[in-house]
Amino acid sequence: MRNDPTDFLHIGEQKGYIELLNERTTIRYVAPNKKYRFTDPEEQVRARFYVELIEHFQYAQNRIDLEVTVPRRTPSDLADIVVFQDDDKKDPFIVVECKKEETSEAEFEQAIEQAFGNCNSLGGHYTVVVAGNTRRSFDVKNYKPRERTENIIADPPIGYGKVEEWRYLKGIERSELSVIERSDLIRVLEKCHQTLWQGGKFAPTQAFDELAKILFIKIRDEKKPRLKGKPYDFQIKTHENAESVAKRINALYQDAKAQDPEVFTENIEIDANRLFSVVNHLQGISLNQTDLDVKGVAFERFLGNFFKGETGQFFTPREVVEFMVNMVTPHHEELILDPACGSGGFLLHAMDYIRKQASDYYDKESREHYLHWHDFAEKRLFGIEVNDSIARVAKMNMIIHDDGHSNVISNDALVGFDTLRNQHSSFEKEKFDVILTNPPFGADIKKTELPYLENYELGKGKTSRKTEILFLERCFDFLKWETGKLAIILPDGILTNSSLQDVRDYIERHFQIRAVVSLPQIAFSHYGAGVKTSILFLQKLSKQEYERYQAAINQITVKNEAIYVPRIDALEDERQSIIAKGSPAQVDVTETYRQQFIAILDSIDALNQKLAKTPTKTVQRLSAFFFPEIESTLTTEFELFDAKTARVELKAQTSKLNALEKQYKAAFKAAADPEWESEIKAEYKEKIDTVKEEWEDQNTEDIREWVRENANDPIFMAIAERIGYDATGRKDDVNDLNTICEEYRKFIENPDFFG
């Protein structure tokens, strides 16, 4: 491997090219015998490149000078490094301008102009601008003074030789890609993002999307099979302009996209000059060979800073993720899911857990070691993320870690299973062994906006429900019966609010509660989220146990139904009866007409009896209404002795009754009082609702009592006060989570000891 920047300092000290003095605050360049302040970031860049000029580019120490005065320019203009062609240092060959790592794109362009001015004034052949890992070299002497494109070269010549076409070659010492440190990787990523962001011309998320595409190409290019000595494609070669580089990078992207269409669907959307600059930042780094731990922390820090500052998203801190993974102890044959995976933190830490486990079983360099964790990463890690841009981050993060990014999909994890299966066949019910997740908090799933709310047991009859509540049920659906394990972060309200008792009841009826760990208020403070949370560790009941619970619940429901349904029916009948009698004014109307109706109905009754006829339905209805409690008796005597006369009289009385009813109905309607009727309906609705609440409460209490009697497994409970970082995100040396994990191990082995 080509040495990283830190190695050049070490080599320089070992071989006596430089000395670091005064507790490394001062540097002395031995050959020119010059001292400078080493705490200056630019000086650190110059020191590394100075040693590289000697070691890699093979220029003699005595032909290199520092802070060389530039003729025909202001007295303060000094060239940072000059390589001469002669021992007397009269004939400049390479003129170098050094800038600190954090130099912006605009500052880098200014440095190029300064380097050209110095090189032309000194009469040098080549100039180099170095800003940490970013470097650009030019052939100055053989081109017109204002040329800045056609004269770009891959690298300065080695030992006064000719300029090589390519700078980075596979397997060639000193020409290989660099393995870099975590802090350097973070700086490079931030520099790339700033270049793409263009000071606000792109939205931050759009800039990040473009960076993800470029990183995708970079990693694919590093992994592409090529013979030793062959150049990498992801680099800027000698005499290559921005358009040429962009054309090659876009071709690489289209090829990679065709082979892996699930990662990216859009084309690269940045101009050639920006793409050229980003390639310049990244070309010398080996993302593939950089240690996974270094990449993991670097990308985690970069992602955390980016999303916290720019998009309002927040992710689960590393310390909490590691704790949850360690508590569930994933196995390399288990299927792991995060249905709200964000940037993929839980999945990557699960992979890292298995990778470390592989070291217990196999030699780290063996193929068995690699397959143990790599097959797990490729085939057993799954994620769902609703935000497409963040899902892309998760895929990119997993690609960087050399694992199965194709198992991450972008969708709402709460949609129907048919939708999820159509996107990826593995997202099925009862499929997964372990779920690790920090679901989104607080958002309302409204029935009017997302009809799937009714498909959830915890959503039935609700107009809205919080996302975290539905995620609990969705996790239950995803897990295997009996062995499926869930580690989920939830707001404490689910554990304490009286209005959410039904959610707690759901948990008890569907899971065995293994552990509850309370997190401090500051757990998510540095991401701007102050909600108090706890972690629940649950295990899905066996199918037989679940069915036993459901049978008991059904039995309790039937028992209480027999008690409360008759009470509700009686109230319904009472309400209908009162409304049928009418408002007070209508009751007065009825009383006014009652005697008239009784007289006619009495006559009709006597005639029906004389004629042995059954009363009509109208007569029966009105009789029941006007004198329901009076036994029908013959009170009217007729002096009619023949049936014909009786029938004529019955017809007349019936007509009289119909006319009176019509008159009564009009008067009754006129006396109607809608406000009174609404009040009666509201009054009885309240009474019925009260009975229904009593019924629901009795059901809940009976079910809860049954659960208490039949599910008495011990629960591990702990409170974490300090968790390895403070409210600002700074490291705290105390982490209670480590101790809690150790105590939980003891609890699992001997629950009675804690009970």
Per residue in 157-182, pLDDT (tens digit) is 999 999 999 999 999 888 899 888 87
**Higher confidence at residue 456 or residue 256?**
456
Asked if pLDDT for residue 590 goes beyond 50, the answer is yes
**Higher confidence at residue 130 or residue 77?**
130
Output the pLDDT for position 312. Answer: 44
Per residue in 200-236, pLDDT (tens digit) is 677 777 787 888 889 888 988 998 899 999 999 999 9
Range ranked top by mean pLDDT from 475-489, 628-642, 711-725: 475-489
In angstroms, the Cα distances linking 370 to 303, 349, 351, 375, 379 are 27, 16, 12, 8, 14
Per residue in 705-723, pLDDT (tens digit) is 888 788 768 889 999 999 9
Mean pLDDT of the chain: 88
Q: How far apart are CA 469 and CA 479, in angstroms?
A: 16
Asked if pLDDT for residue 587 goes beyond 50, the answer is yes
Using alpha carbons, select from 153, 166, 218 the residue that is nearest to residue 189: 218
Q: What is the mean pLDDT of residues 429-453?
A: 91
User: CA angle 455-456-462, nearest 5°?
Assistant: 95
Output the pLDDT for position 73. Answer: 59
Output the pLDDT for position 374. Answer: 85
Output the pLDDT for position 617. Answer: 92
The answer to whether 250 and 269 have CB atoms below 8 angstroms apart is no
Residue 57, φ and ψ in degrees, nearest 5: -90, -5
Asked if pLDDT for residue 140 goes beyond 50, the answer is yes
Q: What is the mean pLDDT of residues 451-473?
A: 92
Asked if pLDDT for residue 306 goes beyond 60, the answer is no
According to DSSP, the residues that pair with 487 across neighbouring strands are: 436, 537
CATH of domain 5-164: 3.90.1570
Per-residue pLDDT band at 753 (split at 50, 70, 90):
low
Q: What is the mean pLDDT of residues 543-556?
A: 90
Name the 3-class secondary structure at 735: strand
Per-residue pLDDT band at 674 (split at 50, 70, 90):
very high
Per residue in 96-116, pLDDT (tens digit) is 999 998 888 889 999 999 999
Asked if pLDDT for residue 90 goes beyond 90, the answer is yes
Answering whether pTM is above 0.75, one says no
Asked if pLDDT for residue 4 goes beyond 80, the answer is no
Output the pLDDT for position 122. Answer: 94
Alpha-carbon radius of gyration of the chain: 42
Residue 192, φ and ψ in degrees, nearest 5: -60, -45
Output the pLDDT for position 20. Answer: 95
Using alpha carbons, select from 457, 453, 447, 383 the residue that is nearest to residue 415: 453
Work out the end-to-end distance of the chain between its first and last CA atoms, rounded to an integer number of angstroms: 57
Per residue in 483-525, pLDDT (tens digit) is 999 999 999 999 888 889 889 989 988 999 999 999 999 988 7
Output the pLDDT for position 625. Answer: 85
Percent of the chain, pLDDT > 90? 58
Per residue in 365-374, pLDDT (tens digit) is 888 888 888 8
Output the pLDDT for position 317. Answer: 85
Asked if pLDDT for residue 5 goes beyond 50, the answer is no
Per-residue pLDDT band at 638 (split at 50, 70, 90):
low
Q: How far apart are CA 271 and CA 210, in angstroms?
A: 11
Output the pLDDT for position 297. Answer: 67
Q: How far apart are CA 615 and CA 645, in angstroms?
A: 18
Output the pLDDT for position 296. Answer: 67
Output the pLDDT for position 282. Answer: 93
Percent of the chain, pLDDT > 70? 92
Q: How far apart are CA 319 and CA 158, in angstroms?
A: 47
CATH 3.40.50.150 correct for 295-540: yes
Per-residue pLDDT band at 450 (split at 50, 70, 90):
confident
Residue partners of 261: CB distance under 8 A and separation at least 6 = none
Output the pLDDT for position 2. Answer: 42
Output the pLDDT for position 619. Answer: 92
